């Protein structure tokens, strides 16, 4: 299953094309006119639809700190790409140990955890994001969708069918085999088309990251790393399949980086902290893993506070609360303003039923940084652990706009609403959650129940009816393609 999923994600650029005119679980509209220009609004609709499916089947990382970080880094680059100002963007992380990054229509940009872990500097990570943002602004995706419309019907049909099989039966190898066959038919056309786009995305990406204050030389070091690794590990380098790396690309990048004036690059500790967090979140905790880490700790191999933080997170995940607490207390004392350390300690306090200790510290931090997703989430969790669901509900409702990027907050909200006795609200929140993960019929059922519960409140009824109309529109569009 894992293998199939990896393979599917590696094919996202192909999937994206096959869903070019389709929404949700449908076959694409193969017969449409090839000359039709794909508008920005259409591209956005395709991207939204694709993202809903991705949320339903792909292992997206729900960690608020990781998501917050990647959004901030992404938008720092977007602000430095002049062509990006009229486009929407959203950045997310896929929990997958392969080296891959991809852009979907509508400005959705995904990074695999394996890629983030294999970067050595924030500039290397920024180089990948700058490149993907350029694919979006140059409308490479839309152009490829148009190209795909010109491909022969059988290959597209086979390909789309394969995706349906793969999406619906994750545990079966049948989808895998069909997918491989269909891939062979379409891959050549797509990759040929991609090469010219790659050099354009490289050129724009390197300027973007330079303007954002990163080291343009990181493009070269990251390319070299990919090239070296791909010699040993062919299968795990999907990034190279969707973004082919030629000798010219590396040479071009080296020349461009050399043209840009050198200047000192200041990298904040957050990047290293996020890498440590991803490592802890994706490591399977076993006694062997914990023993090895303890050995490193005793040999003083964790020389930076970021590495010590990573060790404390492993201990926390392994439920070694006392040892984790000792390190985290030291770190929070040494860096009282660093949210990552305080959030880890708060997590530990919830796990060890001591939520009272972290509550005032987290509330204070949130007062200082009100828009921080991770602080909102942790405060809500602490309030719930501290038997204050009404306050958790209020906090989450105040920040409900964040759920667009972090649908899992809706699960926290529905729990808070239920525990605080706002039962009529729970259906609507559950409906919003299911809608965001692409379960249209599940969402519709929840909204009907919500309408039954909200007999008095005209505003709530209007809101829910608007959502039901949206679902009706999606279903109508879908039926047109049948």
Whole-number minimum distance, CB 160 to Zn ion, in Å?
Answer: 23
Whole-number minimum distance, CB 202 to Zn ion, in Å?
Answer: 8
How far apart are alpha carbons 70 and 133 in whole angstroms?
Answer: 13
Structure tokens belonging to residue 192 = 């040929």
Whole-number minimum distance, CB 239 to Zn ion, in Å?
Answer: 8
- Answer yes or no: are the C-beta atoms of 273 and 309 closer than 8 Å: yes
Which residues are CB-neighbours of 229 under 8 A, at least 6 positions away? 99, 118, 237
Given the complex with Zn ion, which of 14 and 447 has the nearer CB atom? 14
- Opening angle at CA 41, ends 37 and 42, nearest 5: 55
Q: Of these residues, 132, 306, 347, 349, which one is catalytic? A: 132
Whole-number minimum distance, CB 46 to Zn ion, in Å?
Answer: 19
Given the complex with Zn ion, which of 229 and 352 has the nearer CB atom? 229
CB atoms under 10 Å from CB of 127, counted, come to: 30
Q: Residue 347 catalytic?
A: no
Given the complex with Zn ion, which of 140 and 444 has the nearer CB atom? 140
- Opening angle at CA 64, ends 58 and 70, nearest 5: 75
Under the criterion CB under 5 A, does residue 415 sit at the interface with Zn ion? Answer: no
Build a one-symbol-per-residue string for 144-183: x at contacts with Zn ion by CB under 5 A, - elsewhere. ----------------------------------------
Nearest residue to Zn ion, using CB? Answer: 243
Given the complex with Zn ion, which of 241 and 339 has the nearer CB atom? 241
Q: Residue 202 catalytic?
A: yes
Given the complex with Zn ion, which of 147 and 453 has the nearer CB atom? 147
| Total residues binding Zn ion (CB under 5 A) | 3
Window 373 to 412, contacts with Zn ion (CB under 5 A): none
Whole-number minimum distance, CB 45 to Zn ion, in Å?
Answer: 23
Q: Nearest 5°: phi and psi at 186?
A: -105, -20
According to CB under 5 A, which one of 8, 118, 144, 243 is a site residue for Zn ion? Answer: 243
How far apart are alpha carbons 416 and 429 in whole angstroms?
Answer: 11
Build a one-symbol-per-residue string for 262-291: x at contacts with Zn ion by CB under 5 A, - elsewhere. ------------------------------
Q: Of these residues, 124, 202, 305, 306, which one is catalytic? A: 202
How far apart are alpha carbons 425 and 326 in whole angstroms?
Answer: 41
Strands in 108-112's sheet, in edge-to-edge order, are: 90-94, 108-112, 101-104
Given the complex with Zn ion, which of 243 and 317 has the nearer CB atom? 243
Build a one-symbol-per-residue string for 189-208: x at contacts with Zn ion by CB under 5 A, - elsewhere. ---------x--x-------
DSSP code string of 108-164: EEEEEHHHHHH-SSHHHHHHHHHHHHHHHHTTHHHHHHHHHHTS-HHHHHHHHHHHH
- Answer yes or no: are the C-beta atoms of 110 and 135 closer than 8 Å: no
Which residues are CB-neighbours of 273 under 8 A, at least 6 positions away? 306, 309, 338, 340
List of residues contacting Zn ion (CB under 5 A): 198, 201, 243
The residues annotated with a catalytic role in the active site are 132, 202
């Amino acid at each position: 299953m894992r293998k199939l999923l990896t393979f599917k994600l590696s094919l996202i650029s192909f999937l994206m094309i096959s869903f070019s005119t389709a929404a949700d679980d449908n076959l694409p509209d193969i017969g449409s006119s090839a000359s039709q220009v794909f508008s920005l609004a259409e591209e956005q609709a395709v991207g939204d639809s694709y993202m809903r499916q991705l949320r339903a089947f792909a292992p997206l990382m729900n960690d608020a700190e990781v998501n917050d970080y990647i959004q901030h880094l992404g938008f720092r680059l977007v602000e430095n790409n002049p062509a990006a100002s009229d486009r929407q963007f959203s950045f997310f992380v896929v929990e997958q140990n392969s080296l891959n990054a991809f852009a979907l229509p509508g400005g959705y940009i995904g990074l695999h955890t394996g890629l983030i872990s294999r970067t050595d500097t924030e500039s290397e990570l920024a180089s990948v994001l700058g490149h993907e943002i350029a694919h979006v602004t140059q409308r490479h995706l839309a152009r490829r969708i148009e190209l795909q419309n010109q491909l022969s019907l059988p290959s597209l049909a086979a390909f789309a069918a394969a995706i349906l099989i793969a999406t619906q039966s994750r545990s079966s190898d049948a989808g895998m085999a069909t997918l491989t066959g269909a891939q062979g038919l379409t891959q050549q056309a797509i990759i040929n088309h991609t090469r010219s786009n790659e050099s354009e995305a490289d050129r724009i990406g390197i300027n973007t990251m330079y303007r954002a204050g990163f080291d343009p030389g990181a493009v070269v070091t990251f390319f070299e790393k990919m090239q070296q690794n791909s010699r040993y590990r062919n299968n795990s380098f999907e990034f190279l399949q969707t973004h082919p790396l030629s000798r010219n690309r590396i040479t071009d990048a080296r020349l461009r980086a050399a043209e840009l004036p050198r200047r000192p690059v200041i990298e904040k500790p957050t990047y290293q902290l996020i890498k440590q967090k991803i490592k802890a979140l994706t490591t399977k905790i076993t006694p062997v893993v914990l023993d090895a880490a303890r050995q490193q700790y005793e040999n003083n191999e964790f020389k930076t506070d970021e590495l010590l933080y990573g060790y404390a997170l492993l201990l926390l995940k392994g439920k070694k609360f006392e040892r984790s607490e000792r390190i985290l207390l030291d770190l929070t004392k040494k860096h009282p303003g660093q949210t990552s350390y305080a959030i880890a300690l708060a997590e530990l306090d919830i796990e060890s039923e001591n939520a009272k200790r972290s509550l005032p510290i987290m509330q204070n931090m949130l007062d200082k940084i009100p828009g921080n997703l991770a602080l909102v989430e942790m405060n809500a969790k602490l309030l719930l652990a501290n038997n204050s669901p009404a306050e958790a509900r209020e906090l989450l409702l105040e920040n409900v706009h964040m759920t667009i990027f972090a649908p899992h907050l809706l699960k926290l909200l529905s729990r808070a609403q239920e525990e605080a006795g706002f039962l009529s609200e729970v259906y609507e929140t559950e409906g919003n959650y299911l809608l965001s993960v692409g379960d249209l019929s599940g969402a519709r059922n929840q909204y009907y129940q919500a309408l039954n519960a909200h007999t008095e409140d005209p505003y709530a009824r209007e809101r829910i009816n608007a959502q039901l109309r949206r679902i009706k529109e999606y279903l109508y569009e879908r039926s047109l393609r049948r």
